[in-house]
């Protein structure tokens, strides 16, 4: 397998495609273009994913709303009235709610992959991380020691 074969896009669908030309204000276009670059997606890929998700959410909500309105509870409540419910400790989210950025891991517009021990363009890194079945954040934060070592080696060269 050649070096570029692992980056080749695998088409999941073999059905014909159509082009959807849309008009956007220039400011929205530029913001969307920048966001797509951050995620390593083409604007067409991002548009396709947004539309696909909208359709799938719509179908899911329609189906679950139908199920909710047509079903009765299967079992009566086992908790007697008058008893207070004790709340258990809720698990903390894996990541904080503030927006995460890869800037601390970036050197010369590239990010390190601790699994491949190679550097990849920031614009294409999320696509690369998908090959490992993880997000950019997961791959960088779950292998911090290796990542920091790669960064130190890169800075010293």
Supply angle C-alpha 32, 37, 38, rounded to 5: 95
Find, among 110, 18, 41, the residue nearest to 32 by Cα. Answer: 41
What is the b/e burial string over 116-153, where b = at least 16 CB atoms within 10 angstroms of the residue's CB?
A: eeebbebbbbbbbbeeeebebbebbbebeeebeebbee
R_g over Cα of the chain: 23
Q: Are 140 and 102 in contact, with CB atoms under 8 Å apart?
A: yes
| pLDDT the model gives residue 82 | 56
Tell me the pLDDT tens digit for each residue of 100-151: 888 889 988 999 999 999 999 988 898 999 999 999 999 999 999 999 999 9
């Amino acid at each position: 397998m050649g070096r570029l074969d692992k980056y080749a896009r695998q088409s999941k669908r073999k059905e014909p495609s159509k082009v959807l030309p849309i008009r956007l204000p220039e400011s929205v276009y530029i913001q969307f273009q920048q966001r797509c670059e951050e995620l390593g997606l083409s604007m067409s890929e991002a548009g396709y994913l947004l539309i696909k998700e909208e359709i799938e959410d719509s179908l899911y909500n329609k189906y679950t709303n139908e199920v909710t309105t047509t079903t009765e509870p299967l079992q009566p409540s086992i908790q007697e009235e008058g008893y207070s419910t004790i709340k258990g400790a809720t698990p903390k989210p894996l990541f904080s709610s503030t927006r995460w950025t890869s800037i601390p891991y970036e050197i010369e517009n590239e990010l390190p992959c601790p699994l491949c021990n190679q550097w990849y363009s920031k614009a294409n890194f999320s696509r690369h991380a998908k090959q490992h079945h993880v997000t950019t954040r997961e791959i960088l934060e779950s292998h911090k020691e290796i990542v920091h070592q790669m960064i130190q080696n890169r800075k010293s060269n």
